[in-house]
A and B are shown apart, each in its own frame.
Chain A
Amino acid sequence: MTLPHPTLTHLRALEAESIHIIREVAAEFENPVMLYSIGKDSAVMLRLAMKAFAPGTLPFPLLHIDTTFKFRDMITFRDEFTRANNLKLLVHTNPDALAAGINPFTHGSAKYTHEMKTVALRQALTAGGYDAAFGGARRDEEKSRAKERIYSFRDEFHQWDPKSQRPELWSLYNGKIRKGQSIRVFPLSNWTELDVWQYIYLENIPIVPLYLAAERPLVQRDGVWIMVDDDRLPLLPGEVPEMKMARFRTLGCYPLSGAVLSNATTLPEVIQEMLEARHSERQGRVIDHDEAGSMEKKKRDGYF
C-alpha cells in the first residue's frame, strides 16, 4: 500500500518548468537580457524570473524596445513597476529611424515595424553584446510558433533558420554557442493565453490598465477600432473619435493595436470574454494581416 503521490497542478508544473529554463540560461550564458514588452506575457515572465532568483535580484537587465508609439499607459506602467521592484531597465529606440521620422502612418506598418522593432532590437542586442535574450512568446499564439524551440538559435545577424534548430529532449537544453551567436529563450513556450491570464489572476500580478475595459477615444478603420492615444494619429476627413467602453487583448503600438469593445472591467470578466470570443488574440494585431506567413518572415529577419 503506497500513499498517493502529491501532484502539481498544470499551472504549477508550467511555473516550475519556466523557472528551470530561466535559471539554466542565467547559469550558462555570460550576458543574458530579458526582453520586456510591458504586456501580460512579459508580466508573467518577469514574475517567474523574480521567483527564480528570490530572495536575490535578477542577474540580468530588462530591455524595452521603444518604438515611440507605445500607449502612454504602457510607458507609465513600465517606469513605475521597474522602479518599485528595483529592476534594471534599458530602453532602446532606433536612432536612425527616429531621425528619419519613420512612423506607421506615412511609411506603412510593415516598414515601420521592421525599422522600429526588428532593426531596433538587433541594434540593441548587438550593442549590448547579449548572448541570450528572453522573450515572452508562446507556442499557441500562431502556427509558425508551434515548432519554435525553447532555445532558439540565431546567427551573427540575429537570423532564425527554421531548418537548423537543435532537437530539444527532456529538459536538457544545449546552451553551447560560438562567439557572436546568440539564442532567444522562450520560457513561456508551453503556456496558453488562458494559462497566462489565470496565473496573473492567481498571483495578483500587476498589469497595464489597458487590458481592462474603460471609456476610451476610438476611431474605426477597416473594421479595427484604433485608440486615439495622442495627437500624432492623423484623423481622416470626417473621422471623429468616439468614447467607447473598450479594452485591448494585446498591447503594442497604439496605431497598430485593435481594441475590442467590452464591458469587462475585472480580470475574471476579461477571461470570460476571452473564452466566449473564440477568436485568436493576434487578430487584433494589424501587422499579422499584411500577408500569409508574415510572422514567419519576421522571425527569419530577427523579430521575436
Chain B
Amino acid sequence: MITADSLDTDIHTYLKRHENKQLLRFVTVGSVDDGKSTLIGRLLYDTRGVYEDQLADARSGPDGQVDLARITDGLQAEREQGITIDVAYRYFTTRTRKFIIADTPGHVQYTRNMATGASTANVAIILIDARLGVLQQSRRHAYIASLLGIPNLVVAINKMDLRGYDQGVYEAIKADFTAFAKRLSFREVRFFPISALQGDNCVTTSPNTPWYDGGTILEYLETVDIDSDRNFDDFRLPVQIVLRPNLDYRGFAGQIASGTVRVGDTVTVLPSGKSSRVTAIDAYEDELPEAFTPQSVTLRLADEIDISRGDILVSGGHQPTVTRQFDASVVWMHEQPLDPAKTYLIKHTTRYVPVSVAAVRSKIDLETLQTVDADTLALNDIGRLTLTAHRPLVVDPYTRNRATGAFIIIDSLTNDTVAAGMIASDDGQGGVEATTGGQPRSGVSHAERHKRLGQTGASVWLTGLPASGKSSIAYALERRLFDLGYLPAVVDADDHGDAALFEHERQLPAAELGATAAASARAGLVTICAFGTRTAADRAAARTAATGRDGRLPTLEVHVATPADVCAQRDTRGLWSREDAAQYEPPASPDLVVDGLDTDEAVAAIIALLRGRGILSR
C-alpha cells in the first residue's frame, strides 16, 4: 500500500488528486515520555512530510540516524529548556487527505494547550505507554478531548516493542480504557498496538502483531468519517461585515458556521427576529445557487432590514436560543484566576459582549474527574459557570453546534484571552458533569449561599470531658449567632438516639454524625456539634466526614477545657467517671481552647474565631 502521496503519475493527475483531498485536523496528546513526538515524527517521515534540510537537523549521532522526535522540535528557547511549551502545527498529506496536526505538550499547562489544539480537531490521538498502562493523565486527556467535542478518539498503545508485542498487554489496556471511555461522549474510540520508534502499525502494518488486524493509524485517519462532524441541519451565518461597495449592493459577508443555504430560502436575523428571503449568494466572481458550511460567502436579501456585524442569520428546524443567561463549561487559561465579581468580555461568533459571573457552580477535580464545589477557577481548571451577558446572545448548545456554542473570555483590562467556554444545553447535558454518571448535583454554589446568608457553611466541633459544658456552650452559641442575624444549627447527639449510650459504651457513630454536620454545613448553616468524641480516632473520623466529599467544608475544633473536678461536680446524669476522664484524649491542635466555667466568654471567643476565619462576614 502506498500512503505517501508520491509522484507516481504525471503531474496533472497528481494535481487533480491533490485538489480534491479533504482536510482532517487532529490533535496529539500524551505525557512527556510516551513517544508523542516520535509518533508525529514517524507520520511526517513516512509520508515524506519532512524536507531534506529540516531532516538534517534531526540527524544525530555518528551514524546519521534520524531522531524522529527531533523533527518536531520547536523554538530555540524551548529547546534550551528541554520542553515544549505551546501548541505547534504540522502538515502532511497522503493520497486522500491533507492533515493538520496540533501538537500539544503533555505537562506544563496541558489543559490550556490541549483545549486549544482540540477546539478544531476531528480526531484526538492519545498515547499510552504499554509499560505503564492507562494513567490518570490519559483519562484526563480523554476527558478534555470529549469535553471539547472531538468526535473520534484514537488510543495508540505505544512501545509495544518493549513489551514483546504481547497481545495480553494490549487487550488489558484496551479493556481498562474502554471501561473508562463509556462515561465519555466520543462517537468512536479505536485502539492501535504500535511502536512509533519501530514504525509498527503507524503507517505500515506490522508483522510483529499478527494477532491484530485493525489496520494502521494512518489508514484510520485517511478513512474516518469526518463529514458528520459538522452540523448540516441548522443554518447559521454570523455576519462579519456588511459590504456596501455602491448604492445598489448590500451584502452580508461571513463564514457559514453550520448548515446550508439556498437562493430563495427565508432566513431570520437574530436577535432582532426579522425575516427576509435570500436573493443571491455571492462568492467572488460567482453567484452560487446554494452554499454550505464552512464556506465564506456574501448573502443578499430581498428586504432592507437592519443587519450589522454580530447579528446571526439563521434558518432550519432547530432554532437557536436568544438569551442573556446561560450555563457553560469553561477552561480557565490564565495565571490570574477567575474573579467572580469582575465583568469580563466574551467573544461569541462575531460579537463581543460584557458578561458577569452569576454563579461558579462547580469544577472538575482533574485527578478524580469528579465534580466538586468551587468558588473560583484557576489556571487549567475546568468548571461550570452561569454567565449573565449584558446584551442578548444567539446561542446553540456546544454539543449541537461547535461554532455557535463556543466562546472565549477576555479580561477587559488586559485584553488577554483568559478562558474558553462551551455553552451547555438547557437540559444541563454536555457540561462538566459528563463523567459523574449523570448524578444530579447542587446548582447552588458556596459563593451564592455566602452572598445570601452572610456566612459560610461550617462545622464547629466542641470537644471536652463529659459534663464539661459543651451542650450549654453549643446552645448559647446558637442563640447568640441567631441574635446577630446568622443562621446556626445544633446537631445534637439526641438526634441519634441515646447520648448516654454513646458516651458510655463508646459506640459513637463519628462518621455518621460527621456526615449529618456536613449536610447542614453544605446548606450554608453554621453547624455546632457537641459530642463526646473522646479519642483522636473518633475525632479524625468525624472530621473527615464533616469536611465533605471534597474536603472543603470548614471544620473547626474547639476544646472545652473544663477542669476534671468541676466536671465531676456538675455531672447530674451520671455520665462522669474518673475512669472516663483518664481515657479522654484531649485534641492535639484545636483551633480554639475555651474554659467551660464562663459560657458567655466561651461563646464570644468562638464568635471571634468564626469572624477571623471569614465564616461570619456581616
What residues make up the interface of A, taking CB atoms closer than 8 Å to B?
Answer: 4-17, 19-20, 23-24, 26-27, 50-57, 139-140, 143-144, 146-147, 162-163, 165-174, 176-178, 189-190, 192, 194-195, 198, 201-202, 268-269, 271-272, 275-276, 278-280, 283, 292-293, 296
Cβ contact within 8 Å between A147 and B415: no
Query: Across the interface, which residues of B come within 8 angstroms of A5, CB to CB?
Result: 227-228, 230, 232, 292
Cβ contact within 8 Å between A169 and B15: no
Q: Of all chain B residues, which has the CB nearest A272?
A: B11
Query: Across the interface, which residues of A come within 8 angstroms of B100, CB to CB?
Result: 190
Say whether, besides A10-B97, A16-B255, A52-B296, A24 and B350 are in contact (CB < 8 Å).
yes
Cβ contact within 8 Å between A166 and B416: yes
Q: Is B116 an interface residue (CB 8 A)?
A: yes
Say whether, besides A56-B243, A272-B7, A292-B76, A278 and B52 are in contact (CB < 8 Å).
yes
Which of B7, B91, B407 gathers the greatest number of chain A CB atoms within 10 Å? Answer: B91
Cβ contact within 8 Å between B98 and A169: no
Contact of A170 among B52, B282, B295, B403 (CB under 8 A): B403
Cβ contact within 8 Å between B75 and A14: no
Which of A52, A147, A163 gathers the greatest number of chain B CB atoms within 10 Å? Answer: A147
Query: Across the interface, which residues of B come within 8 angstroms of A178, CB to CB?
Result: 415
Say whether, besides A146-B88, A172-B406, A176-B415, A16 and B295 are in contact (CB < 8 Å).
yes
Closest 10 CB pairs of A and B: A56-B245, A280-B51, A10-B23, A293-B76, A19-B296, A169-B119, A176-B415, A20-B255, A146-B88, A51-B284
Q: CA–CA, A268 to B285, complex, Å?
A: 25
Question: What is the interface size of chain B, counting residues whose CB is below 8 A from a CB of the partner?
Answer: 81
Q: Of all chain A residues, which has the CB nearest B416?
A: A166
Q: Looking at chain B's contact residues, is the secondary structure mostly helix, strand, loop, or mixed?
A: mixed
Q: Is B120 an interface residue (CB 8 A)?
A: yes
Say whether, besides A146-B90, A162-B77, A168-B116, A14 and B241 are in contact (CB < 8 Å).
no
Q: CA–CA, A174 to B333, complex, Å?
A: 14
Cβ contact within 8 Å between B294 and A271: no
Q: CA–CA, A54 to B253, complex, Å?
A: 10
Cβ contact within 8 Å between B89 and A189: yes
Contact of A7 among B22, B352, B406 (CB under 8 A): B22
Cβ contact within 8 Å between B74 and A146: yes
Cβ contact within 8 Å between A16 and B232: no
Contact of A268 among B15, B91, B284, B348 (CB under 8 A): B15
Q: Is B381 an interface residue (CB 8 A)?
A: no
Per-residue A-contact encoding for B303-328, CB less than 8 Å = 1, 0 else: 00000010000000000000000000
Query: Across the interface, which residues of B come within 8 angstroms of A167, CB to CB?
Result: 112-113, 115-116, 333, 417, 420
Q: Is B249 an interface residue (CB 8 A)?
A: yes
Which of B18, B74, B333, B402 gathers the greatest number of chain A CB atoms within 10 Å? Answer: B18
Query: Across the interface, which residues of A come within 8 angstroms of B51, CB to CB?
Result: 278-280, 283
Q: CA–CA, A17 to B23, complex, Å?
A: 12
Cβ contact within 8 Å between A147 and B86: yes
Q: Is B427 an interface residue (CB 8 A)?
A: no
Contact of A51 among B75, B88, B283 (CB under 8 A): B283
Given contacts A55-B245, A167-B420, A171-B120, 20 further A-B contacts (CB under 8 A): A6-B260, A9-B19, A9-B20, A10-B22, A10-B97, A24-B240, A27-B240, A51-B296, A143-B75, A147-B74, A169-B119, A172-B347, A174-B410, A174-B417, A192-B93, A195-B98, A202-B19, A279-B53, A283-B51, A296-B77
